[in-house]
Amino acid sequence: MIDAYLLPLQRRLLHPVAHALHSRGIKADWVTLAGFACGLAGAGAAACGAFGLALAGLAANRLADGLDGEIARRAGPTDRGAFLDIALDFLFYALFPLGFALADPQANALAATALTASFIGTGSSFLAFSLIAERRKMVAADYPSKGIYYLGGLTEGAETIALFVAVCLFPAAFAPLAWLFAAACAVTTATRLLAGWRLFR
């Protein structure tokens, strides 16, 4: 919902770091893979109940997610880079709740399952819309720098990360927060399906 407003600020903040990394020959794909490894470590930390480390892994993952795009814009974006970025992002979003389910299965497993299912709804509707939009040569005016057509919604990247930060800080509240966010994701999925129904007639 707020990604379009945050992205310009993010780009300005990350510009000096991305420039320094690019000038030293660091590839965007390397940063993408390193960021995914950090996110995976964060999910593992959550599974062990080390929620402070989970938050650190989350922060590193998100930092890398911003840097890889900035580096790619300097070196020249590639299809492989766009593929890795979106595929590993979606995988990370599914694995992070799993860490909380493993940390306390009795309290969190059902809510984590519902949250992951809701991510499948938002993710599949997002990717399906992007595929058809690409065929029709559509351009997302709010997200011109994205590697694929980016369809917004009530729950986007910023809201998802805010949820993950919240559950790291307040792990006992994981279940109610996950249920609440899953409901919001259902709204996002419904609006995207409706948009596709209307636009792709």
Q: Please give the chain's pLDDT, 201 residues, in tens.
A: 665 666 777 777 778 888 888 888 899 999 999 999 999 999 999 999 999 999 999 999 999 998 988 898 888 888 898 899 999 999 999 999 999 999 999 999 999 999 999 999 999 998 998 888 888 877 766 555 555 666 777 888 889 999 999 999 999 999 999 999 999 999 999 999 998 898 888
Kindly list the distances between the CA atom of residue 50 and the CA atoms of 39, 58, 111, 151, in Å, as whole numbers in the listed order.
14, 12, 20, 34
Please give the tally of structural domains in the chain: 1
Could you give the CA distance from residue 4 to residue 137 in angstroms, rounded to a whole number?
Answer: 20
Domain that holds residue 137: 3-199
C-alpha distance across the termini of the chain, in Å: 25
CATH no. for residue 124? 1.20.120.1760
With residue 193 as reference, give the H or E element that holds it.
helix 174-199
Q: Which two tokens stand for residue 11?
A: 């780009």
For residues 155 and 123, give the distance between their C-alpha atoms in angstroms, rounded to a whole number. 11
Report CA torsion sign: 167, 83, 201, 152.
Answer: positive
CA distances from 201 to 87, 132, 138, 142, 190 (A): 28, 11, 15, 23, 17
Q: Taking the model in full, what pTM does it have?
A: 0.86
